[in-house]
Structure 1
Amino acid sequence: MIPESFSHVVLVTGYRSWNDEQSMRSAFNDAWRDWGAENVTRPVLISGHCPDGADAMAERLWRAAGFEIRTFAAAWSAHGKRAGFQRNQEMVDAAQVFREAGAQVLCTAFLGFCRKPGCPQRDQEQLMPHTPGHFSHGTIHCRSCARAAGIVTATVIHPSLPPF
């Protein structure tokens, strides 16, 4: 990938059932305020391109604003269950390339609880101590990869979940 001259990059990762547009808009607006709106000259969204939930909502909001989007769809048929995790790392790697080219980079993680029936990790705590259950696997994985890469990460927990 050839780094393009993006001023700011938002890597979005999130729950497939994410449906809270207000929280997503707030997270994006917070990023703009932190960066200084006058400094955001050419933003781009990096998305896993899931047709539902956080990815789809973020892409719709960015497209409506006239901003650019780079998508990284998971290759499920080629990589099976690991495809989502591989795609997550590819998105983080792309964000790092843009950061090395001078862009400001933010990962926004929109979390909801794992709803997978019979999930063997059901009783684990992933984000907050003493919180029953755990958050969606793909979102936590991408968030962890971004944090390990030194990418600033904003975590938004779905408002329907109990306060932490």
Structure 2
Amino acid sequence: MIAEMIPESSSRVVLVTGSRSWNDAKSMRETFSDAWRGWGPKNVTRPVLLSGHCPKGADAMAELMWRDAGSEITILPADRSAHRGAAGFQRNQEMVGAAQVFREAGAQVLCTAFLNLCRKPGCPKRSQEQLMPDASGHFLHGTIHCRARARAAGIKTTNVSHWV
């Protein structure tokens, strides 16, 4: 099913993962611009965004930027009716799988992880996902999961964070 969604001849693919509370458009725009510069703008043909299609936060912001640029978007929303509480994690794996299909077709793929802090009181994962020595807490679970799956698949990952 995923392979059928993949447009042919896409040279560059960005998988976006981030929180529903992400609100830093400037950092996101800079992250995408840095990717283009690194790839060389003349090398970018038919760029594609892979998005989980959340109606707010990082997904929505990235989709808006890509639509405004006239670029393609492949959406892979979470299927809550089929996967319930694990829907986001299942969707993350599907996005990484789609990124791998693009890569196998010859595209360069980048995962952009827009990281916010988990604010869940008494979160049991608090001690498992440490930040930097100068910051306490841990990042949101879905973004961390998607980023980890992308890294495990050998996909280059860029991390962008801010403390909200």
What TM-score bracket applies, with the shorter chain setting the length?
over 0.9
Gaps of 5+ in 1: none
1:33 match: 37
Asked if residue 95 in structure 1 is aligned to residue 99 in structure 2, the reply is yes
Alignment counterpart, residue 69 of structure 1, candidates 73, 86, 106: 73
The superposition leaves residues 73-121 of structure 1 with CA deviations (integer Å, 9 ceiling, x where unpaired) of 0011211111100000000000000000000100000000012233222
Q: RMSD over aligned Cα, in angstroms?
A: 1.4
Tell me if the contact between 2:78 and 2:88 (Cα under 8 Å) persists in the aligned partners.
yes
CA shift, 1:66, in A, is: 0.4
Secondary structure of the corresponding residue to residue 28 of structure 2: helix
Offset at 1:130? Answer: 6.4
Tell me the amino acid that sits aligned with residue 125 of structure 1: E
The equivalent of 1:57 in structure 2 is 61
1:129 deviates by: 4.7
Q: Percent same amino acid among aligned pairs?
A: 71
Distance in 2 separating the partners of 1:32 and 1:94: 20
Cross-structure match for 1:116: 120
Give the distance between the partners of 1:117 and 1:88, measured in 2 at CA: 24
Does structure 1 residue 156 correspond to structure 2 residue 147?
no
**Distance in 2, Cα, partners of 1:157 & 1:65:** 24
| DSSP 3-state at the match of 1:16 | coil
2:48 to 44, 49, 57: 44
Q: Which of 11, 15, 20 lines up with 2:19 in the alignment?
A: 15
Q: Across the two proteins, how many residue pairs are aligned to each other?
A: 160
CA distance in 2, matches of 1:77, 1:117: 27
Partner residue, 2:136:
132
> TM-score normalized by structure 2?
0.92
Larger displacement relative to structure 2 (114-123 or 90-99)? 114-123
Return the alpha-carbon distance in structure 2 between the equivalents of residues 92 and 121 of structure 1: 23
The CA deviation at 1:125 is 3.4
Which amino acid counterpart does residue 150 of structure 2 have in structure 1?
A
Counterpart contact for 2:17–2:52, Cα < 8 Å: yes
Unaligned runs of 5+ in 2: none
